DNA sequence: AAATACTTGACTATTTTACTAGGTAATAGG
DNA sequence: CCTATTACCTAGTAAAATAGTCAAGTATTT
């Protein structure tokens, strides 16, 4: 288990998607502005997320990304795993024979710990964060005041198009 | 919360200390050989661990490092925290005013998650790993067969000195 | 005095992270 | 059909963090 900025960016971006899921796709440009990360870097991350089946892209105007599954079925562990690909914990090159044929005990213990961590993070879903009391209102307030979020923007656009 | 090889090395090294705690100090040279990390790099990590009050060094012949506290009182979180110093999650430079005065909601959510992770890792102590059935025997067997561990070495030395 | 072990700081190599720039493909709206 | 908007893809590259080295110490114990 590894946990770097890459994982953090991905999780926060996914949270953004989850928060605005009902309002339609979120563009990477929006996330890029919010989180202060470059667009292309986000594209790299979302490429991984898409390949992992966690998000799906919607092309064209009004497009962006949405969750590929309900927020209640996407765990933090899945996200972390998608972008921070496997670390080879054992310097014995995976085959468990570091130091002359014996698997290093502490490596085994670390693997145990790593498993436990994943288990823990597998129990936490995006929905658990988004569905908390207070979050939806907060997010909407934020959207309004900053004026650059999908929810607000899409609504405005929809109104302009006479859809609402 | 960040989790890199630095943290992993430290945790596995601490596990080594915990396993051999009763047998006396463990030298960094031994750990270096076992884990395949350079001695000086370990010295850096142990400098942090010592400053965090997790280990204490014993100088002179037969010296090395031992746990500064009982294994049951050292949590994984403490170790990770000691070497992977604080990450500034918010790119708003800690003051919570990213993007024009409003704290980015997703950053807050990430902080929550991070806290939960630390809580989780604070609940796991070195002792929980070391005291598991099967571990002491395994470790001793390993020591014997590799023939370079403190437990074996110290015992041999003690015998040579007529102490046992 | 010698061996052993820890300390410190400066230095280098490697990897990861992050960004830049160039595109192509699909789609919605006019 | 045309244009703007977005996803998507590829390659290169700059910056930063990580990982590791080297060398010259200091402190203890035998």
CA gap B56, B136 in Å, rounded: 23
pLDDT tens, position by position, B78-134: 999 988 866 555 544 433 334 443 446 787 888 889 899 999 999 999 999 877 655
- For residue B90, the model assigns a pLDDT of 53
Least confident of A9-18, B14-23, B32-41, B89-98: B89-98
Our CA angle for B33, B8, A119, nearest 5°, is 135
Where residue A25 falls (left for φ over 0; alpha for ψ -120 to 50; beta otherwise) is beta
- What's the whole-model pTM score? 0.79
Higher pLDDT, B108 or A146: B108
* Residue of A81, A106, A117, A142 to mutate, interface with B, max B Cβ within 10 Å: A106
Contacts of B1 in chain A (CB under 8 A): 3
Beta carbons of A8 and B117 less than 8 Å apart = no
Spatial CA neighbour of B55 closest among B89, B114, B11, B107:
B11
Footprint of strand D on the protein (CB under 7 A): A 25-29, 40, 43-44, 46-47, 50, 56-65; B 2, 4-6, 9, 37-41, 44, 59-63, 84
Whole-angstrom Cα distance, residue A117 to residue A61?
Answer: 40
**Predicted confidence (pLDDT) per residue in A26-84, tens digit:** 999 999 988 888 999 999 999 999 999 999 999 999 999 999 999 999 999 999 999 98
User: Is the pLDDT score of A162 beyond 80?
Assistant: no
Which H helix or E strand runs over B67? strand B64-67
Distances from the Cα of B60 to the Cα of B57, B64, B161, angstroms? 10, 8, 16
Question: Which comes out higher in pLDDT, residue A124 or B60?
Answer: A124
Alpha-carbon distance of A77 to A145, in angstroms, equals 32
Nucleotides in chain C near protein beta carbons (<7 Å): 3-10, 16-22, 25-30
**Kind and range of the H or E element at B40?**
helix B39-51
The per-residue pLDDT for A8 is: 92
> What residue of A is the nearest CA neighbor of B122?
A117
Please list every residue in chain B whose beta carbon sits closer than 8 Å to the beta carbon of residue A124. Answer: 113, 116
Q: With a 7 Å cutoff on the CB, does B162 touch strand C? A: no
> What span, in angstroms and rounded, lies between the C-alpha atoms of B47 and B92?
31
Band (A88; pLDDT cuts 50, 70, 90): low
Number of C-beta neighbours around residue B63 at 10 A:
13
For residues A84 and A52, the answer to whether their CB atoms sit within 8 Å is no
């Amino acid at each position: 288990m590894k946990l770097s900025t890459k994982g953090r960016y991905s999780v926060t971006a996914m949270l953004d998607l989850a928060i605005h899921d009902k309002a339609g796709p979120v563009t990477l440009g929006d996330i890029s502005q919010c989180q202060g990360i470059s667009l292309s870097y986000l594209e790299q991350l979302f490429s991984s997320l898409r390949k992992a089946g966690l998000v799906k892209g919607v092309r064209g105007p009004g497009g962006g990304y949405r969750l590929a599954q309900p927020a209640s079925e996407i765990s933090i562990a899945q996200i972390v795993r998608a972008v921070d690909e496997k670390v080879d914990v054992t310097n014995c090159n995976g085959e468990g024979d570091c130091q002359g044929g014996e698997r290093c005990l502490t490596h085994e213990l670390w693997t145990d710990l790593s498993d436990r961590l994943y288990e823990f993070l597998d129990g936490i879903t995006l929905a658990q964060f988004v569905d908390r009391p207070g979050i939806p209102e907060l997010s909407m307030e934020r959207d309004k005041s900053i004026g650059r979020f999908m929810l607000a923007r899409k609504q405005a656009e929809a109104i302009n198009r006479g859809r609402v």
